[in-house]
Amino acid sequence: MLSFGVMTRLATTGEVLQLIRSGEAVTRADIGRVTGLSRPAVVHRVTELLQRGLVAEDAEGPSTGGRPPVRLRFNARGGFVPVASLGASRTQIAVCDLSGAILDRTEVVIDVEEGPGVVLPLVMDTWDKLLNGRAPVVGIGLGVPATVEFAAGRTESARVMAGWTGVEIPPLIAARYPVPVLVDNDVNVIAMGEHRVAYATELDDLLFVKVSTRIGAGVISGGSILRGALGAAGEIGHIPVRDGGGVLCRCGNIDCVDSVASGTAILRDLRANGRDVHSLADVTALVRAGDAQTMAVVRQAGRWLGEVISGAVNLLNPSVVVLGGDVAEVFQPLVSGVREVVYRRSTQLATRTLRIERSRLGPAAGLTGSALLVTDRILAPEAI
């Protein structure tokens, strides 16, 4: 929240917008009182926001004597943000408003390894359909399952999404949508969405772990996403575990947690034990039926994942570990395995108040987070 306790300069139009968005100032008189701006200066800034469609006037507010004041509110429909959360085998696509609310969404099944020349045109065609004439488009947000150099929007993973390595995504999209295009790692945007919508009023430190076809993490520290020096923070999938059985990981190392505890690994191990499983839905059916072998495999995957998470808990001291993705959201034995190991192996202080929970938002977190990636940039006071 902005503070204008001691004014050393005049509040900008962008700062006035922040006051209206937060509800700290909802009338012109409020803005003048909070900022110390003169009445003409307030009128000028509010008029600019009205003309840009970022603020709307509501019915008159309660009167304190004389003519009731006109209330001002942030106009979330003053612009639209197409977003997408790419997964290894399927992609969530949506259109959001300026508050991050999802207006329309769909899911497409596509192998991300087909490369940007196939995937991005499909995503943009889908945005066209979902927009259905809505305008203006003010920015685009994208989460991709790869390491991303955030400043450039460039995918840097050489072993994952090989066809995307070194690709700067923003120019490819901006050629069709000439607006700011922001790209980040898929779990980073999921962590942002989960924190902002489900936890922001409760806590500032969160570790989100996605367990699906692959494994990754996003770190919220002090209320903000932690990307690291080059965007590689949260790559826990390639931390090795003990006694993993000597499984060769796609990265070239042995017994990475991604290679022994992901959805892909669970399917592989169950097939090796004679179970006829072709998808995670088949595994879910066996878990619900109480199949002992399936329960054991899934719980062991949870223990291996807990081994890696316990180190992250000691290092980062989050208030909550949120488990999301297809596997974590469906398999209770995996969550139980994680809890078992984390509470045993992490330090007493780090786990004193630690909660380990499933995602509250589910697949919507990645879409909302992608929208917030954009709105945090374009609605920042210095950008208005």
The side-by-side arrangement of strands in the sheet containing 102-109 is: 102-109, 90-97, 80-86, 140-144, 181-185
pLDDT of 6 above 60: no
Render pLDDT for 14-28 as a digit per residue (tens, 0 to 9).
Answer: 999 999 999 999 999
Render pLDDT for 173-209 as a digit per residue (tens, 0 to 9).
Answer: 999 999 999 999 999 999 999 999 999 999 999 999 9
Q: Name the CA dihedral angle for 211, 146, 193, 180, rounded to a multiple of 10 degrees.
A: -160
pLDDT at res. 64:
55
pLDDT at res. 52:
94
Instruction: Give the Cα separation of 331 and 43 in Å (integer).
Output: 56
Q: Where are the alpha helices (DSSP H) in the chain?
A: 13-22, 28-35, 39-51, 116-131, 169-174, 186-194, 257-261, 263-272, 280-288, 292-316, 325-330, 332-345, 348-351, 364-378
Over the chain, what is the mean pLDDT?
91
pLDDT at res. 156:
82
pLDDT at res. 345:
96
pLDDT of 2 above 80: no
Verdict on whether the full-model pTM lies above 0.95: no
Instruction: Give the Cα separation of 109 and 93 in Å (integer).
Output: 11
Band of the pLDDT at 160, cuts 50, 70, 90?
A: low
